Amino acid sequence: MKKIIAFVLCGLTCGAAFATLPPLSPDAQVAADLAKAKTAYGDKVSAYQLCQAQNRVADRFRVAGTPAPAACVAPPPFVAPVAAAAK
């Protein structure tokens, strides 16, 4: 009996787990796109700062006569994505 109850309970739980959510409203979609763009920009800035830190460490331990590390490319300023509603 316990196995049957556990099986039914797992079946109902799996059904709820595979349920789909309704599509986002246009305002929520714009907010999600903006958050995604800000996150991507933050990742670019973090990569730039990491590159600078690695170059500082490499310069400190570089042996004379070895080439300097490649220069880091600064990310452009953040620009909010254009809304797709202008179609």
pLDDT in tens, 46-86: 999 999 999 998 888 877 777 877 888 888 899 888 865 44
Q: DSSP character for 15?
A: H
Is residue 60 a part of any domain in this protein?
yes
- Residue 14 is assigned to a structural domain of this protein: no
Question: Is the Cα dihedral 53, 58, 61, 64 positive or negative?
Answer: negative
Q: For residue 49, tell me if it sits in a domain.
A: yes
Residues spanned by the domain of 73? 25-86
Average pLDDT score, the chain:
84
**CB neighbourhood size of 72 (10 A):** 15
57-66 pLDDT per residue, tens: 888 887 777 7
Domain-located, residue 18: no
| DSSP code, position 18 | T
Query: pTM for the complete prediction?
Result: 0.62
Distance between CA atoms of residues 63 and 67, nearest Å:
9
Give how many domains the chain has, as a whole number: 1
SS3 of 11, please?
Answer: helix
